[in-house]
């Protein structure tokens, strides 16, 4: 099945053409980062307007790069939620319009579901697996037993990991979104230079917390203003990043132990972090875990990843044009096929 996929959940307008939920013929991502950077974060109203400007050109580009026309498309899959409601509405409205005009089936897909299945576009990973989704809006651990079969094992009780990276970046005047810059600076720093706390490390749940860690960085900077000097910044970044990674690695290892699963998939923008990649590799090697990271373009927000669940649901006849965009949509509520009738 040749699918057109559309993603507008946050600050990236994305469209992709994917064959059979596997072969990516095109994947276009138009980022609004430069627009939001001057505000230090995503401004929802501006995001919606920028999506409106970009959506049709991005879809056109996806069709052109895939060398197909709209008449060739056999179905449309769109991010229905979770995300910024005004932003989601742009993608959902475009998808409904195209599917209705072309007389083809449409399916609304969960954005987090797309993230944790994105790996399947790189290479097949057998179910079940533990999925850690770490992005600007989410930090969740899921047991994934198949497409449409998810159980939340743990999550952040406050900030998402990417949000913590971006907030700490802001404290040291790194423009939004600063996660990737912290990662680069950390490469030259000593992760043991500053002993930041690892909140909830010894807590019995599989939850994590990052807001206290961010406050610790803020307090440390107040007491040691020179820590943000160019010469000292790498140590601060490496120490903060080590605290985030220690927590994510420890909770993932514990989740694997408790569930007995032997495969781990890590996705979302923070899965690009080099420190997280190397510490997860160490943990996995020590415990005999089969570890998978999607390629960086598939980790961050994109439309191609929607094709994995989109194709699966459409192939099974679960299509509907009668749905709204939803800002919140817990994955636990998806229990294929009962909610897809
Ligand atoms: O998945 P994503 O593209 O968008 C959503 O939030 O859904 O993730 C974006 C987040 C931002 O917070 C960004 O700072 C973070 O991922 N990020 C990183 C890195 N690359 C992106 N965080 C740490 N290290 C990186 N290399
Ligand atoms: Zn995302």
> What average pLDDT does range 226-246 have in this prediction?
98
Atom 3, ligand 1: which residue's CA is nearest?
300
Residue 235 sits in the same domain as residue 155: yes
Q: Can you tell me which atom of ligand 1 is nearest the CA of 300?
A: 3
Residue 171 sits in the same domain as residue 289: yes
Task: Find the range with the poorest average confidence among 135-144, 255-264, 328-337.
Answer: 328-337
The parent domain of residue 328 ranges over 2-117+302-333
pTM score: 0.94
Alpha carbons 266 and 252: distance in angstroms, whole number: 10
82 lines ligand 1 (CB under 6 A): no
Residue 43 sits in the same domain as residue 141: no
The CATH number of the domain holding residue 207 is: 3.30.420.40
Note whether residue 340 is domain-resident: no
CB 45 within 8 Å of CB 86: yes
What is the structure's pLDDT at 341?
Answer: 34
Residue 266 sits in the same domain as residue 150: yes
| Residue of 244, 53, 67, 73 lying closest to 162 (CA atoms) | 244
| Residue of 109, 152, 134, 139 lying closest to 305 (CA atoms) | 109
What's the total number of domains in the chain? 2
Ligand 1 centroid from CA 164, angstroms: 10
7 lines ligand 1 (CB under 6 A): no
Ligand 1 centroid from CA 223, angstroms: 28
Q: How confident is the model at residue 22 (pLDDT cuts 50, 70, 90)?
A: very high
Ligand 2 centroid from CA 203, angstroms: 27
Mean pLDDT of the chain: 96
Q: Is 4 helix (H, G, I), strand (E, B) or coil?
A: strand
Q: Is 220 helix (H, G, I), strand (E, B) or coil?
A: helix
Ligand 2 centroid from CA 112, angstroms: 7
E strand spans, the chain: 2-7, 12-19, 23-31, 75-81, 106-110, 129-134, 139-146, 149-155, 263-267, 290-292
pLDDT digits (tens, 9 = 90+) for 322-338: 999 999 999 988 867 54
How many Cβ atoms sit within 10 Å of the Cβ of residue 278?
A: 11
Ligand 1 centroid from CA 210, angstroms: 15
pLDDT digits (tens, 9 = 90+) for 149-192: 999 999 999 999 999 999 999 999 999 999 999 999 999 999 99
pLDDT digits (tens, 9 = 90+) for 62-111: 999 999 999 999 999 999 999 999 999 999 999 999 999 999 999 999 99
Ligand 1 pocket test target in 165, 169, 302 with most atoms within 8 Å of CB: 165
Note whether residue 338 is domain-resident: no
């Amino acid at each position: 099945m040749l699918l057109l996929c559309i993603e507008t959940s946050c600050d990236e307008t994305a469209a992709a053409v994917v064959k059979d939920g596997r072969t990516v013929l095109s994947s276009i991502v138009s980022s609004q980062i430069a627009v939001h950077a001057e505000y230090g974060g995503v401004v929802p109203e501006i995001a919606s307007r920028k999506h409106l400007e970009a959506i049709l050109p991005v879809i056109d580009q996806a069709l052109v790069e895939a060398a197909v026309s709209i008449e060739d498309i056999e179905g449309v899959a769109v991010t229905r939620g979770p995300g910024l409601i005004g932003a989601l509405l742009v993608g959902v409205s475009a998808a409904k319009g195209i599917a209705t005009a072309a007389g083809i089936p449409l399916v609304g897909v969960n954005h987090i579901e797309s993230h944790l299945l994105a790996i399947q576009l790189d290479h097949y990973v057998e179910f079940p697996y533990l999925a850690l989704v770490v992005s600007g809006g989410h930090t969740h651990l899921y047991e994934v037993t198949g497409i449409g079969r998810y159980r939340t094992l743990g999550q952040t009780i406050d900030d998402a990991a990417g949000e913590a990276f971006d907030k700490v970046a802001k404290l040291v005047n790194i423009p939004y979104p600063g996660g990737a810059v912290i990662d680069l600076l950390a490469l030259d720093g000593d992760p043991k230079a500053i002993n930041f706390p690892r909140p909830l490390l010894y807590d019995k749940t599989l939850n994590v917390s990052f807001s206290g860690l961010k406050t610790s960085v803020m307090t440390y900077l107040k007491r040691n203003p020179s820590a943000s000097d160019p010469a000292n910044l790498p140590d601060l970044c490496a120490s903060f990043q080590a605290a985030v990674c220690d927590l994510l690695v420890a909770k993932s290892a514990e989740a694997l132990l408790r569930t007995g699963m032997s495969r781990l998939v890590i996705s979302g923008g923070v899965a690009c972090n080099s420190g997280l990649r190397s510490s997860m590799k160490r943990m996995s090697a020590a415990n005999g875990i089969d570890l998978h990271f999607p390629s960086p373009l598939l980790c961050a927000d994109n439309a191609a990843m929607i094709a994995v669940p989109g194709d699966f649901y459409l192939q099974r006849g679960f299509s509907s044009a009668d749905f709204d965009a939803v800002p919140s949509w817990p994955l636990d509520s998806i229990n294929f096929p009962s909610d897809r009738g």
